[in-house]
Amino acid sequence: MQSEKSEQTAEKPAAQTAQPETRPYHHGGLRSALLASAERTLREKGVGSLSLRELARDVGVSHAAPGRHFKDKQALLNALALSGYERMAQALDAADDPGLPFQPRLTALARAYLGFALDNAALLELMYARKHEPDAAEQMAAAVDRTVGHLERAVAAAQQRGEIIDGDPAHLTLVVGAALHGLASFTANDMVATDAAMAAVEEVVQHLLHGLKPR
């Protein structure tokens, strides 16, 4: 009897130390996990396939859990776009050197923009679409200023140094952006190979600054 009782006593600590199964993303990582899953879905299936319920299933949480961070799909799309703008801004910041003459400076910024655009074609399309959403207008305006505004400030600085023509910096930036985005679109639609597009950046900037007329 004494031996049997001792065995029962010895078994208790093991039972007491058994831990309940935990679910992932309970410690502040759910929002990031949802955005990562959303971006993957966007890239692979398109914006129409995004839903909070499917994202919850993908990251392994209850269907109601995403509501703690995104009230609806529109809020999710806004957050995804803002995340994209933040990453693009970081890429432009890393590439920029205000001490360079304008042509090499613009070439470096153009390569950074094109690199981001080619790696994140679906996300970039969403970013430009969401910047017109009234429910996130203020946040989007600040995000756009950190990216497109980055190029515009480089243009304005070059004007002040007399490196390029006078005029509205926003308009000149639009011309630059149209050329770069056009190259990115051609590449995304398999009209230009990725390596060829990146190699063409310097030539595109050269033509933007000096035109096509013989010199």
Enumerate domains of the chain plus CATH numbers: 25-70 (1.10.10), 81-215 (1.10.357.10)
- Digit-coded pLDDT (tens) for 102-134: 999 999 999 999 999 999 999 999 998 888 777
- Digit-coded pLDDT (tens) for 132-173: 777 777 888 888 888 988 899 999 999 999 999 999 999 999
Task: Check: pTM over 0.85? Answer yes or no.
Answer: no
Could you tell me where the DSSP H helices lie in the chain?
2-17, 30-45, 52-59, 73-95, 102-119, 121-130, 137-160, 169-188, 194-210
CA contacts within 13 A on the Cβ side of 169: 14
Strands, E assignment, the chain: none
CB neighbours of residue 148 within 10 Å: 22
Residue listed under structure tokens 């480089």? 154
Residue partners of 55: CB distance under 8 A and separation at least 6: 34, 37, 38, 41, 66, 76
